[in-house]
Amino acid sequence: MSIFKGAGVAIVTPMKPDGEVNYEVFAKLIEFQISNNTDAIIVCGTTGEASTLTHEEHIECIRFCVQQVAKRVPVIAGTGSNCTQTAIYLSKEAQKAGADGLLLVTPYYNKATQKGLKEHYKLIAQAVDIPIILYNIPGRTGGVNLLPETIVSLCEEEPNIVGVKDATDNFIQYAKLMALAKGKVDVYSGNDNQIVPFLSLGAKGVISVLSNIAPQQTHDICAKYFAGEVEESARLQLEAIELITALFSEVNPIPVKKAMNLMGLEAGTLRRPLTEMEEATAAKLEQAMKNYGIL
């Protein structure tokens, strides 16, 4: 059984002006998501600025999210690292905190081979007892690409490795994965502009940045598709393209935090080395939000 089906939000980590995690706002953001029908919450991922959290903050954010959600939707914790032992440590702590699943990015900087990737993921999987979604995003990991054959073999060999978030921008590779998987791999789009194309080949949903500001609409793209209303799902997807483009006009999560602040959702500041959005791209983002009807 899939950890979730539909649109899961890759939730931001709200920050105070001094850069500390703002847990009061975090609770509000979680409630905003649940009240607008998000299907899962993915905490401490790229959008959550996990790479600049200390281990203690990382674990506390997962623990806080799990407690606030209180089993109303699945919570999936980002616990990936380029150090296998660190990933194991964070994954064990996430399981202790009550996470329903893990999201594990491919190791960055070291640039492991397919053999190294398999050993990395197998060691983590054998250290925990909760489901794991692999995360393939070569643009963030120095070009490291988890190949379809590797993904399928991992899902076959380790029962708790159940799926993959695909953010490769390589639809041919995705199609090959789905052909090889034969239903053994739960695939989630890692790109908001490709939700419907992914669903058309059997994906379970999306792990979404857009959902931070439009959770109901992103949920509906998936829900309409699953209900057989494919044309309406496609219409909703296309309606969001301008906004999605603006949300990635600078590196994520710079634009989405700007968008949330414009909406009064108090996402707060960014941790360095990320900086505030440039005026020109911020103006385009604001216009796209107005065109979409959320400002």
Where in the sequence numbering do the catalytic residues fall?
135, 165
In sequence order, what E strands does the chain have? 6-10, 40-43, 75-78, 101-105, 132-136, 161-166, 186-189, 205-208
* CB 53 within 8 Å of CB 77: no
* CB 212 within 8 Å of CB 260: yes
* CB 218 within 8 Å of CB 10: no
Rounded (10°) angle between helices 23-35 and 55-69: 40
* CB 94 within 8 Å of CB 124: no
Q: Is 252 helix (H, G, I), strand (E, B) or coil?
A: coil
What is the spatial distance between Cα 289 and Cα 295, in angstroms, rounded to a whole number?
A: 6
